[in-house]
Amino acid sequence: MKKALLILFIFTFCNQIIVAQKETTVLSIKNTANAPTINKNIYGHFAEHLGRSIYGGFFVGDTSKIPNTAGVRNDIIDALKKLKIPNLRWPGGCFADTYHWKDGIGPKENRPTIVNQWWGGTTEDNSFGTHDFLNLCELLGAEPYLSGNVGSGTVQELSDWVQYANFGGKSPMSDLRKKNGRTAPWKVKIWGIGNEAWGCGGNMKPDYYAGEYRKYATFMSDWENTGGLMRIASGASDADYNWTETLMKNIPGSMLGGVAMHHYSVIEWNKKGDAVDFTEGQYFTTMKEALKMDELITKHGAIMDKYDPEQKIALVVDEWGGWYDVEKGSNPGFLYQQNTMRDAVLAGATLNIFNNHADRVRMANLAQCVNVLQAVILTDKAKMILTPTYHVMQMYSVHQDAKLLPITINSPLYTYNGETLPALSASASKDKNGLVHISLVNIDSKKENKIEIDIKELGIKNVSGNLLASPKLQDFNSFDNPTKIQPTAFKGFEIKKGKLVITVPPFSVIMLEGK
């Protein structure tokens, strides 16, 4: 009997060791010489004339008591500088294909109004226009990304805008720019030719839009930027692979700098769910939609590879993020929503996907920057808060223009109601100073996960880290408690015999630095 009990004890003990071993995920990182660089523009942002994004967000006017520079809030400028914002997309979105840029230049008192037919039916006075936006980008040190009007505009209108913004010599448009107070051109390099042409940009068929793109692109000449303009085609919604195939087949590569793709993490379009008061089932579905980004990039990228094997054309994910029901009592056309730990892990997991596809994805734009959808900044009159998504974007800014370190990971599973998702995601890079950064996300709502990394090959001896976490998935930063969620020093790791062992808390984001 004692012998039988001893055998049972040994079996149980060994089984526990095996289970414990299985619970530690091995993450391998390769220092590969030919790996791509993570383009800083992956960390771009989006500012559409939508709700309180521009008016009441970025722009309060130069007579406001809120401290500002030429009408743009100083606190927002400072926050975005700390974020190292690489580019900013404007004026839309759907709004772009109803926007006529000449209405937003010249003396503000002479500018006509415009009804925002897409977002709330509000009347705008055009007081924030081309000069305001491009000067803001200069203040931020960010590349402007101008989205041109194809849906209701003309080839001449877009051609004139390029000349107005970029031409340094004498011409009707450069003379007009100088008359309006700006002598030197801004030399805007990144231009979108329409937005969501399959929908709000004109409900076009892909063949028709390809022809329109070729026509518009032909007349967008530029002699100011080295290498010319980066012209970006209005790309697919989600898994519309035929759209990408049609564009790549019908537009010469010499005319195409990038092809856009939009994907939002939405539970159901007709029933998006509350931004704060959500269930685990809704959280799981949101994460499922977020992780779908990897499949979308892989399949769109494979189509692009057929026509562009040297990968000269960028896949530009210029709208992404979580989309929920608007906050109770707010204008439904303003798309104002709170930002919780759900959004933090969504952002971290998505950015890991972008980093790991750095060979093809060379630009992306979180939707949106201020007061709209998955915003990094929220304002209420003079008050301003930084959201959990802001903190993730700031933590990940170390990856900008760093060399990708390819990873291999066999993630444990996050299980809910019989469905499973990979619980862990990661990306890694090495910057110009030789610092290695490893970003880790655990989407599991209840369970911590352990990761083991062999760091001998990377030459890492010392490790430090930051953690973004909170007790509840539904936690958020409010105007009453603006610092409830913010990064803290991370100590949940140890180095043993050249291996880094990390305990990743549930629904958390970690950034490790090794040197």
3-state class of 133 per DSSP? helix
Selecting among 124, 143, 289, 319, the annotated active-site residue is 319
DSSP 366: E
Q: Whole-angstrom Cα distance, residue 314 to residue 43? A: 14
CB atoms within 10 A of CB 196: 23
Paired strand residues for 385: 378
Answer yes or no: 280 catalytic. no
Q: Whole-angstrom Cα distance, residue 192 to residue 207? A: 18
In the block, tokens 């990038």 appear at 258
Answer yes or no: 319 catalytic. yes
CB atoms within 10 A of CB 227: 8
Question: CA 130, 133, 139 angle in degrees (round to 5)?
Answer: 135
The answer to whether 333 touches 10, Cβ cutoff 8 Å, is no
Amino acid at 108: K
3-state class of 326 per DSSP? coil
3-state class of 25 per DSSP? strand
Q: Whole-angstrom Cα distance, residue 315 to residue 355? A: 13
**Distance between the two ends of the chain, CA-based, in angstroms?**
56
What secondary structure does DSSP assign to 189-257, as a single string?
-EEEE-S-TTTTTT---HHHHHHHHHHHHHT---SSSTT--EEEEEEEETT-HHHHHHHHHHS-GGG-S
Selecting among 143, 196, 212, 289, the annotated active-site residue is 196
Q: Whole-angstrom Cα distance, residue 407 to residue 268? A: 33
In the block, tokens 């010392």 appear at 462
Nearest to 233 by CA among 30, 429, 220, 222: 220
User: How does strand 508-514 pair with strand 463-468?
Assistant: antiparallel
Structure tokens at 102: 């000449």
In the block, tokens 């803290």 appear at 488
Nearest to 391 by CA among 468, 443, 322, 482: 468
Element spanning 468, H or E: strand 463-468
Is the peptide bond between 368 and the residue preceding it cis, with omega within 30 degrees of 0? yes
State the Rg of the chain over Cα.
Answer: 24
As annotated, the active-site residues are 196, 319
